[in-house]
Structure 1
Amino acid sequence: MLDIRAIRAFQAVAEERSFTRAAHRLNVAQPALSRQMRELEAGLDLVLFDRGVRPVALTAAGRVLLEHGQRILAAMVQLHGALDRVRQGERRKFTIGFVGSTMFGLVPDLLRRFRAKAPDVDIDLIEMNTVSQIEALKSGRIDAGLGRLTLEDANVARRVIQHEALMLAVSQHHALAVGEEPVNLAELVGEKLILYPAEPRPSYADQVLSLFHDHALSPVNLLEARELQSALGLVSAEAGVSIIPASVAKLRRDDIVYRPIRQATAVSPIILSWRMNDSSDLLRSLLAVVPGEEG
């Protein structure tokens, strides 16, 4: 017998390709999850998993259920939201999760344009990291997310709306504070590099490290900060240097100097994410004001 809980549990096993990892993700005991999947197979009179291989693989029937189950779950999220609005007698609501550093550039203007297209809608903004956004999208807690990481998930569609240049932030007393020429990443290998956020990972911190590694550079003197403002505070205190999105330089501070970076690959994407198969008019209104290409 198909029900929403069974479909959601099946989806977790299919995506994790492991009953153990899926049980951890669902916060249930692994034996209980295995029993639920056996009952699902018995009710459908179909074998959904090839349990004889590692990692666990889907049968042809399992692949069909995964494809259609994703659509069912997306539709149920929208249905519950619509029913909640009717039940509570509220105005329509659209919730967007966002990474803090996306709010210094073009995103605020995009949100103003979205509000203008949907004046009768309450647009709620919740700050959360990109990893949390993916789970919040799938659970229906948010309707769209603005982040900087490309996290592959079959249930989530993405659009890169900007490739934002990165800059170096240094104390006004640092040797690299002098000059207007772009700074070469190689000049930073010997510096104490302040990364943020410290957790969860992967995060923007890993993007910065990948930038160095892509140029065969390995900074070894690392200091992790909890978030952007902490990183800038450490820069001001001359505890190290940090690489930040260029729009953050709008936070003008007399004690910090911002320098461009020479490498053309020193960019960080701003990515809009939403539930795959979400066909709501509000999402269409948002996508209409957002530039970029899906991918």
Structure 2
Amino acid sequence: MELRHLRYFVAAAEELNLTRAAEKLFIAQPPLTRQIKQLEEEVGVALFLRKPRGLELTSGGEYFLEQARQILHKVEATVEDTRRIAQHRKTVFSIGFVPSVFYGQLPLMVRRLRRNKNLEIILHELKTREQVDALKNGKIDIGFGRVRIDDPDVDQELLFDEPLIAALPAGHLLTRHPPSMTELAGWPMVTFPSGPGPNFADITLGLFHRRGLRVNVIQQVNDVQTALSLVASDMGFTLVPEQVRRLHREGIDYMPLEDDNITTPVIASRRKGENPNAVMRLANTILDELVQNRLTGRYP
């Protein structure tokens, strides 16, 4: 099996018409038909159902399409990184992250990696689900998020559980003492990020729902910065990870919760079964040290 077989198959699967696929690939239809047939014979299953008006993917074909896309994306990313390395003589290391983890250990990790002049560090702001896809197609090398994603190709490591705190408008009634979840439920709430789950909003809303509490979500936003701006505007409160306290914002008071066992995970995601190269080993060593500092209280 060669890469061209995968490219031909993906084109045929996307067009579901051999004539259009051949035009897209700038080849004649008969050679394309032969290549698809050879691919099916090698795989040992039918990938398409041939119908009078075109093609239809079989269940095996649908799975093979997903895997073929990932392989081609990985090859494209490898070629791109190889060209970049050749031009700059640097090794590229790409990190995915959700914004709420970028106020604690992650900036220190990036800073220490950047001391190596042979490394080019690239950062991608991605939700955890997007990080998993980016790991599988080679866009990133490691991801940092807060949501568990069950995927056979990705390993997720719990680094530590981080306390949640309430971000409240400065001088709010609930800043007189650590508020309970029941007290918070009586006020409008701003959640982030918006969009399909699983996400941080699901985690925070679940804390109320599991306690039988209803909460009035007044606004859903895409990121923590916007959520804090709305809080400062007296729109309501939001729950944030403890490290966000390091982001000093005028008009906001950060309060610990009455129940100090309410936490959110910090999770590292890596490709499963991949032997770590020298850069990944360095990143893992730095990360282990920073996590231990966090766990032993040497870093807030």
* TM-score, scaled relative to structure 2: 0.72
Aligned partner of 1:96 in structure 2 is 95
Amino acid paired to 1:239? M
Unpaired stretches in structure 1, ≥5 consecutive residues:
11-22
Structure 2 residue corresponding to 1:172, chosen from 170, 173, 176: 170
Aligned partner of 1:212 in structure 2 is 208
Deviations 1:18-52 (A, max 9, x none): xxxxx9xx99345679x999746633161278x9x
- Secondary structure in 2 matching 1:158: strand
Deviation at 1:209, TM superposition (A): 1.2
Give the CA RMSD over aligned residues. Answer: 3.9
Amino acid paired to 2:229? G
Aligned partner of 1:15 in structure 2 is none
Unpaired stretches in structure 2, ≥5 consecutive residues:
22-32, 50-57, 292-300
Structure 1 residue corresponding to 2:245, chosen from 227, 242, 249: 249
Deviation at 1:252, TM superposition (A): 2.3
- Secondary structure in 1 matching 2:109: helix
Contact 1:6 1:36 (C-alpha < 8 Å) held by counterparts: no
Identical residues among aligned pairs (%): 27
- Secondary structure in 2 matching 1:122: strand
Mapped to 1, the partners of 2:4 and 2:259 lie a distance apart of: 49
Structure 2 residue corresponding to 1:223, chosen from 219, 222, 235: 219
- Secondary structure in 2 matching 1:282: helix
Contact 1:71 1:277 (C-alpha < 8 Å) held by counterparts: no
Deviation at 1:176, TM superposition (A): 0.5
Amino acid paired to 1:164? E
- 1:6 equivalent to 2:6? Answer yes
* TM-score, scaled relative to structure 1: 0.73
Going from structure 1 to structure 2, the CA distance change for 1:57 and 1:216 (only over 3 Å counts) comes to: farther
Amino acid paired to 2:89? E
Deviation at 1:167, TM superposition (A): 0.4
Structure 2 residue corresponding to 1:235, chosen from 204, 218, 231: 231
- 1:272 equivalent to 2:268? Answer yes
Deviation at 1:169, TM superposition (A): 0.9
Going from structure 1 to structure 2, the CA distance change for 1:151 and 1:93 (only over 3 Å counts) comes to: same
Mapped to 2, the partners of 1:212 and 1:30 lie a distance apart of: 47
Higher relative contact order (CA 8 A, sep 6+): 1
1:176-215 alignment runs, 5 A limit: 176-179=174-177, 182-215=178-211
Mapped to 1, the partners of 2:8 and 2:142 lie a distance apart of: 20
Q: Which moved more, 1:229-238 or 1:81-90?
A: 81-90
Aligned partner of 1:281 in structure 2 is 278
Amino acid paired to 1:232? L
Contact 2:78 2:138 (C-alpha < 8 Å) held by counterparts: no
Aligned partner of 1:13 in structure 2 is none
- Secondary structure in 2 matching 1:285: helix
